[in-house]
Structure 1
Amino acid sequence: MFTYRVLVLTIGWIIFLSSFIPVHFLLSGHDKWRRKLERYLVELICSFFVASWTGVVKYHGPRPSIRPKQVFVANHTSMIDFIVLEQMTAFAVIMQKHPGWVGLLQSTILESVGCIWFNRSEAKDRETVARKIKEHVQGLDNNPLLIFPEGTCVNNQYTVMFKKGAFELDCTVCPIAIKYNKIFVDAFWNSRQQSFTMHLLRLMTSWAVVCDVWYLEPQNKKPGETAIEFAERVRDIISVRAGIKKVPWDGYLKYSRPSPKHIEQKQKIFADSVLRRQEEK
């Protein structure tokens, strides 16, 4: 099946590039039509990607519409979450800037749908991204904004703490729950151990990518509710719908090493417990 899947993806890229390049350059003076066609073409190439995995995706609930002052948030398992959602709706997504061919796609094709990129190692990027997000949600014709508030890929068994940025925008939050069926393939992408290219190859050589996507009821911040409380309430809704366990961990912890002092404290606690057990015997 791998040969046929590569053929499907190749045909998809040929159709996409032969259409996207003329649309992008020849319709530069007709922004409304150009944006509309680019949205459709981005959805199309994402559909080819899903087809190359023999993707079986069931969507539940009303399809997102383009409205100002709303943001969509979803649990995060892999960068393919974006592709699975994008084939139905041309979301503008907030995403880490990647190197290589993925970075090239980000800076060219995906910017056409209003995506916003950041570099986690650059402190100044946070202020810039926060400003761009606020400007985007106010736009009348901008694509729906999609944020993965966990900030990192998680194994689809847990949801880690949501960052509060998406819940401080004074706008409606639309939760999306994504659940993959691990019987066919584990869709989790561990970016520290595997490149995205190898991750795609693993998906293309698996049986199928099977998942459910739920567009859940929009939520607004309640009177007196803090952004953190709002984020936790939305995380509850997503976790319950997807059947995923909530854990009180910060997803960014995987990008940093614990301090030697903290390690020594844990080692001392463990050593003391072993010594007590020996004394009791």
Structure 2
Amino acid sequence: MKAVNSRASTVGRNPFIHELKFTMTEKIKIFLMSVTVFPVRLLLVSSLMFLAWPFAFIASMGRSDYIMEPQSWWRRFVDVCLRALMRALWFCVGFHWIKVKGERAKPSEVPILTMAPHSSYFDAIPVTMNMCSIVTKLESRSIPVWGTLISYIRPVFVFRSDQASRRKTVEEIKRRANSGGEWPQIMIFPEGTCTNRSGLILYKAGAFIPGLPVQPVVLRYPNKLDTITWTWQGPGAFKLLWLTLCQLHNPMEIEYLPIYTPSKEEKENPVLFASNVRKLMAKALELPLIDLSFDDREISLSHGPLSIHDDSSLLQFHQLVCRLGLRAERTDSLLQDQVQRARDLQGERVNLQEVSTFLNLSITHTLTEVHSLFDQRGDGLIDIRLFVIALSTVHRPSQAMETLKLAFKMFESEDNGYVLEEDLAAILEIMLGVRELDLSGLFSALSGPETAKITYAELHHFIEQHPHFVQDYLDFENHPRNFSQTKNCNGLSHSKED
């Protein structure tokens, strides 16, 4: 694919990775706290959690999921008790005082609060302080004890992998938001996932579809040692809980920003509405905007011998195909059919109209952008096989070998299953997100530079034997191969000049 220079922001630190490094002093402190304060805190937190559970369970009985009943005196009493218990719980965790800036608007004024950055399960603190509703994954309901507490605040549950569930979630948010303050305010984390707070990733549009005023809320954890962040790659939930309980004090700041009233254009365009609120919150937090989304996390976290080296063009491609409706949950059922049809073309290059027919999509600006990514020669024709490889790569980044097998099916000779060197270079350029790939090191290591073809079985075996395959055997733009470590199949070292 063509190089991409149009991204609105540069991704520096990966927002889905959190690394903890301890000084010797911090290690000693954690050890001392682990044998003294930690057991006491854990006992208190557990006791308060179990004490809160019966209140939430009783108050949740007999309630409708769709009708907001008038609050009886005893339910109001339970609400006060739960707030007190949860505040005591957070105090025991180490959040002794929580700095609050600004003022939360009334539900009748603003039905939706948008909160960011979302980085931890400790982000539940402002939720429990106000007993607002939230949007959360359906699996949360089944968490022992905590699931009952979540159900008490009447959340909007969503099943992420189900498109119908997503639509119902948006409809429920709209219904509650238009109730005129009858329902509790909904606190929504528009990022849709936890990050390391290095920037604000793309917002989902759900909170902004109703087109009503929202109140942005920003969260800060100004702690020296970040034991708070819980994201996709890094310490697990229990380790972070242990480390957080081993801190003398855990500072937190909650800032309620002024109400944001959408313009007419923003009401008609939820994506624009979300983008403008995101910019406002990033400015308040003094954080950069990161053009990654929840759906991009697997691409940016890919690993293994064929992990994506440069994800910029693949991330842009992924966002475009998502806009076309070609999401991951639909891809597996379509890929095999696309592979066969692409193979039948036998490398014949196709124009935009033919791509439209191939994908059964109308010609739109988005489809034109996708087509242009693969139009290397600038003649309006592309190799559809490369599109299929890219689609498999972005939707199955953790299954690179499956994508490689799929690519071989489209490119291999019917007679002997071989793929030519130039075709393999094109395949790997797409899968790795690189340019100007040179495979001379690979073929020299296999059986000499005169060999210019390979089967999937041979390449698969070679990759299994060489976990640093990309670093040691491939040359590409801005990445010279490590010649000193490159060896042929007999274990003999060689250089590119051999």
Q: Confirm or deny a common fold (TM above 0.5).
A: yes
Structure 1 segment 57-68 matched on structure 2, within 5 A:
57-67=98-108
SS of 2:224 mapped into structure 1? coil
Change (3 A) 1:64 1:165: same
Range with greater deviation from structure 2 (240-249 or 194-203): 194-203
The one of 162, 169, 179 equivalent to 1:129 is 169
> Could you tell me how far apart the structure 2 residues matched to 1:167 and 1:19 are?
33
User: Is 2:41 the partner of 1:5?
Assistant: yes
Asked which structure has the greater CA Rg, the reply is 2
Match of 2:270 in 1: 227
User: Is 2:90 the partner of 1:47?
Assistant: no
| Superimposed CA distance per residue, residues 142-185 of structure 1 (whole angstroms, 9 cap, x where no aligned partner) | 11101111111111121101111211112111100111113043
The count of aligned residue pairs is 272
Deviation at 1:22, TM superposition (A): 4.8
Match of 2:205 in 1: 164
Q: What is the percent sequence identity of the aligned residues? A: 15
| Superimposed CA distance per residue, residues 216-257 of structure 1 (whole angstroms, 9 cap, x where no aligned partner) | 101111122332222121112211222222111223211456
The one of 253, 258, 273 equivalent to 2:296 is 253
- Indicate conservation of the 8 Å contact 2:138/2:157, yes or no: yes
In structure 2, stretches of 5+ residues that fail to align are 1-36, 303-307, 309-392, 394-399, 401-426, 438-474, 481-498
Match of 1:77 in 2: 119
In structure 1, stretches of 5+ residues that fail to align are 276-281
Change (3 A) 1:60 1:96: same
- Indicate conservation of the 8 Å contact 1:178/1:214, yes or no: yes
Range with greater deviation from structure 2 (254-263 or 119-128): 254-263
Change (3 A) 1:222 1:99: closer
Change (3 A) 1:255 1:46: farther
> Could you tell me how far apart the structure 2 residues matched to 1:25 and 1:126 are?
26
Match of 1:279 in 2: none
Match of 1:16 in 2: 52
Deviation at 1:263, TM superposition (A): 2.7
- Indicate conservation of the 8 Å contact 2:119/2:231, yes or no: no
User: Is 2:431 the partner of 1:263?
Assistant: yes
Match of 1:200 in 2: 241
Match of 1:214, as an amino acid?
Answer: E
Greater relative contact order, per chain length (Cα 8 Å cut-off, separation 6+): 1
Match of 2:76 in 1: 36
Query: TM-score, with normalisation over the residues of structure 2?
Result: 0.49
Change (3 A) 1:17 1:228: closer
CA RMSD of aligned residues (A): 2.9
Query: TM-score, with normalisation over the residues of structure 1?
Result: 0.83
Deviation at 1:210, TM superposition (A): 1.2
- Indicate conservation of the 8 Å contact 1:156/1:180, yes or no: no
